[in-house]
Amino acid sequence: MRREKSTAGGGLRRSARRALLRPLRHLLSAVAAIGLVLGALIALPGVSQAAGSLPCDIYGAAGTPCVAAHSTTRALLSSYNGPLYQVTRASDGARADIGLLSAGGYANAAQQDTFCQNTTCRITKVYDQTSRHNDLTPGPAGTSGMGADRGADASEIAVTAGGHKVYGIWISPGVGYRYTGVASGVAVDGQPEGAYMVASGTHVGSDCCFDYGNAESTPADTGNGHMDAVSIATTCYFAPCTGSGPWIEADMENGMFQGDNGSNTANRGNNSPFVTAVLKNDGQTKYALKGGNSQSGALSTWWDGGLPTRAGYRPMHQEGGIILGTGGDNSNWNRGTFFEGVMVAGYPTDAAENAVQSNVVSVGYSGETDVPNGPQGTVTGPDGKCVDVAADDTGTNGTAVQLWDCQNWAEDQHWQHNADGSLSTIGRCLDIEGNGTANGAKVELWDCNGVGGQKWVQQADGSLLNPQSGRCLDSPSGATANGTRLQIWDCNGSAAQKFKLS
């Protein structure tokens, strides 16, 4: 059944897991950073990006170089001209790297559209744009009890950046990415670091964990201070909290910290469609959290002070893994939408972070970020309920297909009507148990295999016909309660068989 999982107890706890020259260098670094800020502040949204002005250029010039840079929308350093991400086609398992329209520019979404035409694709790798090759792939199972992650549907969420169509990464329960092991250059054992991501402030939840940043080298909770990841969620882990979020938080393992020692009522949250979420941590005594609207304005500083005094956080014990969309122990129950993010070595200056925010604003991100808007659409049935897969976006072979209240963010309520007549969601097809044809045969989710039990044709009277059986998709006795398991039955034109493809 589709419901929010409690964040009390185990859910987040498991996861939610040279001396003379030095002043001169510091002075020069500060001057350079101020120059970067002034240059960024006069930037205007447009379809191109100036060389030397992208986030990793800015951080590098300020003495805190990027050690990881991930995005499906654009280059994050001006010299980059490689692939952003890899997609894998469901129809034949073929793979393609999706690159840029030009060096230092925006993603070539048309390349993905052509490759994935008439089938579905998953994002199976997110390339690191630095020279360190800290690429992310779907994560392995962890000690949270969840299975291995799947890659995101590549066409689930399209937005505009720099005047171009681009795709984000739609994170649903069961979707997530990881660099397992110690990533090159990423902070370990109390070293300073910083990170930011651009994510949705509207496609969010309270479950564990929509994180980006430093995590355990293996998918297991190894204790307080072993993570240092930025998060945006509606998780009030340490009460009291101000408002209902979502808040920019620091997942430092076994707690989502809004500032101070956990609770921080000065953190008022960020709920714009695109949010810049910033975290930095010196690894020893202090950390800071900032948030801003990625479409306009400056960053707000929600916390700039001491690390938690709870045991294990002074100093930090980072392990140098990287996660995206999950917790450190692979807790992958939350949801979110990711567009770009970097991790840097060292403790970034405020000037550099302000310049990065100005660059992000200059991109001109636009579009809805809380509704899947690819080739999928909803299938509504009796009483306006949606055709839904049990198990909250994580359905495997044999999972029941049912009626449920429509939720705009639910990936498994968005179906693609494919050229072969099948209806697919979360990588599988609407199927009849045992490829059956008898009245009352239940429908389920199953790997798309082209059998007759996976063909569905919209009829003029509003029904969905399965040609092999000659019967229609049906709600038993016209029931409309959440969780009603769907079946096939003789076509009779009743309200129980009215299913509309959007």
pLDDT digit string (tens) for 256-300? 999 999 999 999 999 999 999 999 999 999 999 999 999 999 999
Catalytic residue among 251, 329, 353, 412: 329
Peptide bond into 273 cis (omega under 30): no
- My answer on whether 175 and 300 are in the same domain is yes
pLDDT of 46 above 60? no
Asked if 213 contacts 226 with a C-beta cutoff of 8 angstroms, the reply is no
How far is the CA of 28 from the CAs of 61, 81, 167, in angstroms? 10, 30, 38
pLDDT at 120: 86
Taking alpha carbons only, the member of 178, 315, 309, 303 closest to residue 248 is 303
We report the CATH number of the domain holding residue 455 as: 2.80.10.50
Q: Is 384 within 8 Å of 378 (Cβ atoms)?
A: no
Domain assignment present for residue 370? The answer is: no
Across the chain, what does the average pLDDT equal? 90
Q: Which two tokens stand for residue 292?
A: 């801003």
Pair (334, 391) in one structural domain: no
Q: For the chain, first and last CA: distance in Å?
A: 23
Three-state DSSP at 366 gives: strand
φ/ψ of residue 493, rounded to 5: 75, 5
Instruction: Show which of 318, 336, 363 is a domain's final residue.
Output: 363
User: 218 and 105 share a domain?
Assistant: yes
Q: Are residues 330 and 427 in the same domain?
A: no
The per-residue pLDDT for 5 is: 35
Task: Give me the percent of the chain exceeding a pLDDT of 90.
Answer: 81
Query: What was the pLDDT predicted at 34?
Result: 39
Directed axis angle between helix 21-41 and helix 350-363, to 10°? 20
Taking residue 425's Cβ as centre, other Cβ atoms within 10 Å add up to 26
* Of the residues 305, 329, 363, the one at which a domain ends: 363
Residues 338, 384 within the same domain: no
Contact by Cβ (8 Å): 56, 360: no
* Residue 35 included in any domain: yes
Q: What is the DSSP letter of 453?
A: G
Q: Name residue, tokens 């329960």.
A: 173
Query: Do residues 156 and 187 share a domain?
Result: yes
- Domain finish residue from 363, 392, 421: 363
Overall average pLDDT of the 434-443 stretch: 97
**Catalytic annotation on 319?**
no
Q: Quote the Cα angle for 172-174-179, to 5°.
A: 105
The verdict on 238 and 209 lying in the same domain is yes
Give residue 25's pLDDT.
Answer: 40
* Residue 211 pLDDT: 98
Q: Which of 310, 305, 311, 315 is nearest to 260 (CA)?
A: 305
Q: Is residue 207 part of a domain?
A: yes
Q: What is the pLDDT of residues 162-195, one digit of tens each?
A: 999 999 999 999 999 999 999 999 999 999 999 9
Q: Report cis status (omega within 30 of 0) of the bond before 209.
A: yes
For the CA atoms of 75, 76, 82, 83, what is the dihedral angle to 10 degrees? -70
Predicted local distance difference test score (pLDDT) of residue 27: 37
Question: Residue 230: what residue type?
Answer: V
Number of H helices, E strands in the chain: 5, 31
**Dihedral angle over CA of 50, 56, 61, 64, nearest 10:** 170
Q: Is 11 a residue whose pLDDT tops 60?
A: no
What mean pLDDT comes out for the span 227-248? Answer: 97
Indicate whether 278 and 357 sit together in one domain.
yes
Reply yes or no on whether the pLDDT at 7 is more than 50: no
193 catalytic? Reply is no
**Domain containing residue 38:** 10-363
Residue 5 in any domain: the answer is no
470 domain-assigned: yes
Do residue 203 and residue 91 come from a single domain? Answer: yes
When pLDDT is averaged across residues 476-497 and rounded to a whole number, the result is 96
* CATH classification of the domain holding 170: 2.60.120.200
Please tell me the distance from the alpha carbon of residue 287 to that of residue 260, in angstroms, as a whole number: 9
**Whether residues 37 and 117 fall in one domain:** yes
Rounded average pLDDT over 349-359: 98
Higher pLDDT, 40 or 330: 330
pLDDT tens profile 318-331: 999 999 999 999 99
In a domain? residue 372: no
pTM of the model: 0.83
Question: Binning pLDDT at 50, 70 and 90, where does residue 52 land?
Answer: low
Q: Of residues 57, 135, 251, 253, which has the active-site annotation?
A: 253
pLDDT at residue 411, as a whole number: 86
Do 350 and 387 lie in one domain? The reply is no
Give the gyration radius of the chain's Cα atoms: 24
* pLDDT (mean) for 93-119: 96
Amino acid identity of 298?
A: A
Model confidence pLDDT, tens digit, residues 362-409: 999 999 999 888 778 899 999 999 999 998 777 889 999 999 999 888
In a domain, 229, yes or no: yes
In-domain check, residue 4: no
346 and 418 assigned to the same domain? no
Comparing 25-39, 120-134, 196-210, which segment has the lowest mean pLDDT? 25-39
Q: In angstroms, how far is CA 6 from the centroid of its own chain?
A: 20
pLDDT of residue 49: 55
* 25 phi/psi in degrees, rounded to 5: -60, -40
Beta strands (DSSP E) in 134-203 are: 137-138, 158-161, 164-167, 169-171, 177-179, 193-199
Percentage of residues of the chain with pLDDT beyond 70: 90
Question: Residue 131, class by beta-carbon neighbours within 10 Å (0-12 exposed, 13-18 middle, 19+ buried)?
Answer: exposed
**Mean pLDDT of the region 42-65:** 74
Write the burial class of residue 165 (CB in 10 Å: 0-12 exposed, 13-18 middle, 19+ buried): middle
Q: Judge whether residue 443 has pLDDT over 50.
A: yes
Mean pLDDT throughout 36-64? 66
Q: Which of 254, 215, 217 is nearest to 235 (CA)?
A: 254
pLDDT at residue 502, rounded to an integer:
80
Between the CA atoms of 478, 2, 391 and 235, what dihedral angle is there, to the nearest 10 degrees? 170
30, pLDDT greater than 70: no
Asked if the model's pLDDT at residue 43 lies above 80, the reply is no
pLDDT in tens, 113-160: 999 988 889 999 999 999 999 999 999 999 998 889 999 999 999 999
- How many domains is the chain partitioned into structurally? 2
Bridge partners (DSSP) listed for residue 105: none
